[in-house]
Amino acid sequence: MTTTHDFSDGKGPVPAHQHCNGGGWVAATALVEDTCYVGPDASVADHARLYDNARMCDNTSLSSHASMGGDAIASRTPLSLQLGRFPVTISDSHVTIGCTTDTIHGWRTGQDLSRDPPPSSASLPGAYEARSRWGAACGSPSDDQGRR
């Protein structure tokens, strides 16, 4: 028998499980690492992604294609939007664009990257260059056309 949960998003009950670290609900289509915390009143639905040491606290939810990582903490539902192909998620302390996560201060100043660049961009020396080329690290939609 499959366990289901209604995420109150109009889709009705969907296959889901309670996360091993915190007990919050996670849809079967979402990706949440065991190192993350999903509090008992929090949820991760749709194709959302929670990785590294990210924490969903209180009555928060992450859904659609939003992602949160690093040491990000959400004590209220993060702002999530889509910019072209890449999702943007803004939590209490961090910003994630595509697969690059940094503190809000780091995005503003080009300092304090909270997460190393993905392996494909490991040679990038600085936060500014890593941030300005994040599309190349995550697969830019314009890569197939050979232009940026």
The reply to whether 145 falls in a domain is no
CA gap 65, 47 in Å, rounded: 5
pLDDT band at 23 (very low <50, low <70, confident <90, very high): very high
Region of 29 (left: φ > 0; alpha: ψ -120 to 50; beta: rest) is alpha
Domain that holds residue 70: 4-134
The reply to whether 143 falls in a domain is no
The reply to whether 146 falls in a domain is no
The reply to whether 148 falls in a domain is no
The reply to whether 142 falls in a domain is no
Look up residue 136 and give its two tokens.
């190349």
Q: In what order do the strands lie in the sheet with 37-38?
A: 37-38, 55-56, 73-74
**pLDDT > 60? residue 72:** yes
The total domain count for the chain is 1
pLDDT recorded at residue 77:
81
Sign of CA dihedral 85, 79, 74, 21: negative
**pLDDT > 90? residue 105:** no
pLDDT recorded at residue 111:
64
- Rounded to an integer, the average pLDDT of 70-89 is 82
The reply to whether 66 falls in a domain is yes
